[in-house]
Amino acid sequence: MIENIAVVGATGAVGSIVLELLEERNFPFKSIKFLASKRSAGKSLTFKGELHVIEELSPNAFQDIDLVIASTPDEVSLEFTPWAVERGAIVIDESGAHRMMEHVPLVVPEVNPEAIENHQGIIASPNCSTTQMVVAMKPIYDAVGISRVVVSTYQAPSGAGAAGEQELFDGTQSHMEGKSFDYQAFAHPIAFNLIPQIGSEKFEGYTSEEMKMVFETRKIFGDETIQICPTCVRVPVVNCHSESILLETKSALEVDAARELFRNFEGITLQDDLASQSYPMPIDANKKDDVFVGRLRKDISGPNGLAFWCVSDNLRKGAATNAVQIAELLVNRNATCGT
């Protein structure tokens, strides 16, 4: 039975949205506590109209806690997660610390909800760029299979945290005023610019962000045969990641049939009418929980290709919403099992 929950990192960009979602979706719990590093401990926050004091992360803070939703840096997660699991809690981890560990399920509820059955106290939520892509892939994968994916991402500075957002604002203002600006969150100016590197150099010229999309997608689908060629780019859009995706399917699929698959899939909003200039854009996906798909067209350069455009709020579905949906899966599973 999940009764007592804890939120770790509640004051961060993603953690604050987790709180909004827990309230909006009326997530069931008996008690809730908020945990953070020593720097934030002692501060207060308001949740459901009540004032709560943030407690410092420590082993004893997880005593009698059933469920933890955490959004922290990797190193923080690696430190505290064993404390929670040893005391019987299930940890939903939004960091990258546990995603590729063999014994840890990597879950997107619309794609592989059954994976939570194999958890050993930790369930990982994928990288934001992976999450929206696999949701968009799922109905096509189930219908005709997917052999190859070519994806280019257009990722917002919010993916680099509050500091990334602020640098876009401050850098833009400085640029407009003809002043120089010292960027810290990014290696190059993000205002009026594109940066074709997210993460460190990882493998054969691919970055860590790009390789996350490769490894995480294969793990989520349980299919090591999917070939993926990603290019990840930071763009000067405050929030919401966009992706240009080309799928090579194992069997032929007409565009109209693909359109129907997207239209009828839970978690996807189809916006696909080029004649009326209707297609997904970050400005419309902002603060929404769905993955938006449009610009569907046949690949005219080869057989069995489907090209489309995909947009999603990286702080919500890419992080906070996915974690809360995993928590809801756990609650529903317990209710179904009668435990």
Output phi, psi for 234, to 5 deg: -90, 130
The pair of structure tokens assigned to 174 is: 């400085």
Taking a C-beta distance cutoff of 8 angstroms, is the pair 315, 336 a contact? no
Identified catalytic residue from 128, 232, 240, 310: 128
Number of H helices, E strands in the chain: 8, 16
How far is the C-alpha of 23 from the C-alpha of 32, rounded, in Å? 12
Q: The dihedral of CA 143, 148, 152, 158: what is its sign?
A: positive
DSSP 27: -
Is 128 a catalytic site residue?
A: yes
Closest of 314, 311, 306 to residue 280, by C-alpha: 311
The pair of structure tokens assigned to 239 is: 């929030």
Is 241 a catalytic site residue?
A: yes
C-alpha count within 13 angstroms, C-beta hemisphere, residue 24 = 14
Alpha helices in the chain (DSSP H): 13-24, 74-86, 128-144, 162-176, 208-221, 255-263, 282-285, 321-337
Identified catalytic residue from 98, 119, 232, 241: 241
How far is the C-alpha of 58 from the C-alpha of 84, rounded, in Å? 9
Taking a C-beta distance cutoff of 8 angstroms, is the pair 316, 271 a contact? no
The pair of structure tokens assigned to 183 is: 């960027």
The pair of structure tokens assigned to 175 is: 């640029």
Spatial CB neighbours of 276, under 8 Å, sequence gap ≥ 6: none
Alpha helices in 95-253 (DSSP H): 128-144, 162-176, 208-221
Spatial CB neighbours of 271, under 8 Å, sequence gap ≥ 6: 278, 279, 280, 284, 292, 293, 294
Which residues does the annotation mark as catalytic?
A: 128, 241
